Every structure is written in structure tokens, then in C-alpha cells.
Structure 1
Amino acid sequence: MGLLMSFMGKGLPTTQMLNLVMGTLHSKFMEKDIRSFDDFHVAILDMFSTINAALPGKHYDVPPPKKVEEIFVKWKGAKDAEKKKLFIDFMKTSVSMSKFDDSILITGLVTPPAAMAAKRAGESLPQLKAIKVIPDVLFVPSATVLALISAKLSKKMFLGNVAS
């Protein structure tokens, strides 16, 4: 295994790859017609949407509107050569990986077995005769989705607007 890895070399040149990605993002960003802050913000959101759709795995969070507005003010007053540097610095400093929420993960793992147990227990009650009619294939995913939605909403209600 070690011999194979030694033939592969040092791996990807991360600085060169980062420069290539940033250059491509900047050229795509500059193709847009940006006249106001709203156009600038839409271009940033479109860029993040494209990145998150194209790359598998972890996603990136969009910077808050205040940061985007600050960079827009600097970007608008800068010359063309400085605009690229401002954009690249903004992307390097403001972009963060999306944080995965443990409560959502636990809810997603615990709900399907709990839904099956609840359905089996409900089938023996005469008041819930209708639950026998619902197939497991529909009951478990719908219960899981409802539990995930309620977990997400309760987190937003009780903890405020937390990025997740």
C-alpha cells in the first residue's frame, strides 16, 4: 500500500486548485450584470447554490447579508483589478462549511423504529382501527418526515434563528 502511495506523488496541489476554483468562480460572478446590492446578493446566492448543487458531500453556508453588504460597498468602489482580490478574499474568509445538526440526525435515526412500534401498539387498540389500513411503506416515512419537520421547527422556535 505504501509503495502505491509513493508512486502517486504528493497529491493534489491545493494552492493551485484553490486558485483555479476561485478564478473560475470570479469569472462566473463577473459575467452577471451587477448594478445594485440586490443584484450582487442574488449573484452570491446563485453562486453558492451552484456550488452546493455541483459538489457532493458537505455544503457551504452563505455569509450573512451584513457581510455581503460590507463587501459590496468595498467592491463597488474598487477598480477592476482590486475587485478580483476583494472577491477572492471575501470567499476565503467568509465561506464556512455547513454544520450538521445532531438533533436532526438522532431524530432521523430514532423515528422509524419508534413509528413501527407505535403502529404495532396502535393496531391492538380498538379506538385506532383505521391505523391497520395504512401500509407500513407510507406510515414510517411520513412519520419520519413529520418528526424531522417538528424537530427543525422546534429548534428554530426555542433557539432562535440558528444556522443549521
Structure 2
Amino acid sequence: MGMFMSFLGKGGPSPSSQMVGFFMGTLYKQFVEKDITNFEEFHIAVLDIFNNFNSALPGKHLDVPPRNKIEDCYKQWKEAKETKKKKIFVNFMTKNVNLSKLDDYTVVTGVVTPPVAMAAKRAGENVPQLTFIKAIPDVVFVPSATVLALISVKLSRRIFLKNIASQE
């Protein structure tokens, strides 16, 4: 992952221009091999590139650029001559590729939830109406509660941030 980001000039030592040219040339060749005639095919090709990177590289993943930036790139790419298309694509990739970041709420939830889930399970075992909780093994209950908590934090943050953005 670090090598990929350094190829894009996003940190670490800068690779030689030949290396960047080779890497971007290979990436562009993979991109151009697809038959792109409209925006949807262009968008799918860009998503495919990010999907390949995220599935192949361990560790941190890359965020896909917003749809409006991809649309702007497509308009420029479509109107450009064949000789300029590669340059437009390379500029788009180097400017819009960012590592995905976890927010503090997700990290805190991931750390706090397992002990809270164990305490809740122990407390629930003593409640007569919740006798079925004893049948659920800890190895199933704690990860399940953690995943559900992480999903709820992610969804609530997305809804909260969307509401704030719509008010501005």
C-alpha cells in the first residue's frame, strides 16, 4: 500500500519519473482496454480500478472520488484528443486518490463495545426473561454486538453528516 501511495506522490520518498510513468501507463492501459462509450462505462471502469486496488492490497484502502469529480474528468477526457487523454486520466488519479480514514467515533466504538457487550451479557443472564442469552456463546455474542455497534455508528454518522450538510 505504501508503494502505491508513494507512486502517486502522496507520501514517503518520491519514486523516479520513469517508475511513475510505468505505473500510470499500466493503469491507463488497463483502463483503456475497456470499451468506454458513455459516462456509465467510464464510471464503472474507474470503480473497477479502485475495487482491484482495495481487494489486492492489504491494509488501508482507497476512497473512490465523488461522482461529480468523475463526471468532470469524463467530460474532459471525452473532449480531449487521443494524445491528451492519458494525461487527463493520470492527473485525475494523482489528485483524487486518497486513503480512507476512520473517524474517532468508529475507533472508540470498536474499543469500548466488547467489554460493554460482555458486561451486558453477564447482567442479562440474571434476568429471568432473558434466559436464552445463556445459550449464546461469548465468541458469537461479543463480535456480533461489536459489528452491530460499528454498523450503527457508521449509519448514524452518515445520517447526521447528511443532515448537517443539507442545513448549510
TM range (shorter): 0.7 to 0.9
Counterpart of 2:132 in structure 1 is 130
1:69-80 equivalence runs, <5 A: 69-80=71-82
Q: Assess, with a 3 A threshold, how the Cα gap between structure 1 residues 13 and 158 changes in structure 2: closer, same or farther.
A: closer
Counterpart CA distance in 2 for 1:77 and 1:130 is 64
Counterpart of 1:14 in structure 2 is 15
**Cα deviation, residue 35, structure 1:** 0.3
SS in 2 for 1:52: helix
SS in 2 for 1:57: coil
Give yes or no for the alignment of 1:60 onto 2:62: yes
| Structure 1 length-normalised TM | 0.85
| Structure 2 segments unaligned to the other structure (5+ residues) | 1-11
Counterpart CA distance in 2 for 1:79 and 1:29 is 16
Q: Spell out, residue by residue over 1:20-71, the C-alpha distance to the aligned partner (whole angstroms, 9 max, x if none).
A: 2211110100100000011111100001111111122221111111111111
**Cα deviation, residue 12, structure 1:** 7.3
Selected match of 1:114 from 109, 113, 116? 116
1:145-160 equivalence runs, <5 A: 145-160=147-162
Counterpart CA distance in 1 for 2:71 and 2:133 is 53
Q: Which amino acid counterpart does residue 37 of structure 2 have in structure 1?
A: R
Give yes or no for the alignment of 1:27 onto 2:29: yes
Counterpart of 2:96 in structure 1 is 94
Q: Assess, with a 3 A threshold, how the Cα gap between structure 1 residues 107 and 27 changes in structure 2: closer, same or farther.
A: same
**Cα deviation, residue 18, structure 1:** 2.6
Q: Which amino acid counterpart does residue 126 of structure 1 have in structure 2?
A: P
Q: Which amino acid counterpart does residue 56 of structure 2 have in structure 1?
A: A
Q: Which amino acid counterpart does residue 41 of structure 1 have in structure 2?
A: H
**Cα deviation, residue 127, structure 1:** 2.7
Q: Assess, with a 3 A threshold, how the Cα gap between structure 1 residues 103 and 17 changes in structure 2: closer, same or farther.
A: farther
Q: Which amino acid counterpart does residue 147 of structure 1 have in structure 2?
A: A
Identity of aligned residues (%): 59
Q: Which amino acid counterpart does residue 135 of structure 1 have in structure 2?
A: P
**Cα deviation, residue 130, structure 1:** 1.7
Q: Which amino acid counterpart does residue 140 of structure 2 have in structure 1?
A: L
